[in-house]
Amino acid sequence: MQHFSSIEAFHQYMQWSPPEHPLLSLISLANLPSQHISSTPPITNDFYIIGLKYVLAGKMTYGRTPIDFSQGTLLFYGPRQMIQWVEMVIDKKGFIISVHEGYLRGHPIADRIKTYNDLPHQKWTD
C-alpha cells in the first residue's frame, strides 16, 4: 500500500500541478485535464481530504466500505485512512480540499476532530 506523507507527493501521484502551499490544497475538478487516474490500489496519507464530486461510473472504497455515488457525494477522509477507486469516471464539477494534519497541530480544532467518529459520506443533489 502506498502512503503519501505530503500533499505535494499526492498531487504528483494524481498528475496534478503542485499545490501552492505545502499544507493546504484546493483543486477544482473543472480545471483538471481530461486524463486522470481512474484506478488506484489502496492508498493512505497524512492529511484530511474533503471532496465534493459527482461520480458517473466506477467504484470507490473507504477502508472496506463501498461508497454509493448515485446522486453525488461529499466525502471526508482522515489521515491514514485507506482509500481506493476503480475505473472511476467523474463529472468536471466539484472540488477536493486537502489539509495536512500538521497545519492543524496546536489549534483547538485538532483536538475537536479527534472526538469525531469516522465521518460518513453525504449525498447531495443539484
CA distance 65 to 56: 19
Q: E strands within 35-110?
A: 40-45, 47-62, 65-66, 73-77, 83-100
Residue-wise pLDDT for 3-38, tens only, equals 999 999 999 999 999 999 999 999 998 988 766 788
Residue-wise pLDDT for 37-72, tens only, equals 889 999 999 999 998 887 788 888 877 778 777 677
Third-level CATH fold of 2-123: Jelly Rolls (2.60.120)
DSSP-based three-state secondary structure for 34: coil
Per-residue cell: 48: 484530511
CA distance 94 to 100: 20
CA distance 111 to 109: 5
Residue 41's region, left for phi above 0, alpha for psi from -120 to 50, else beta, is: beta
Residue 121's identity, in one-letter code, is H
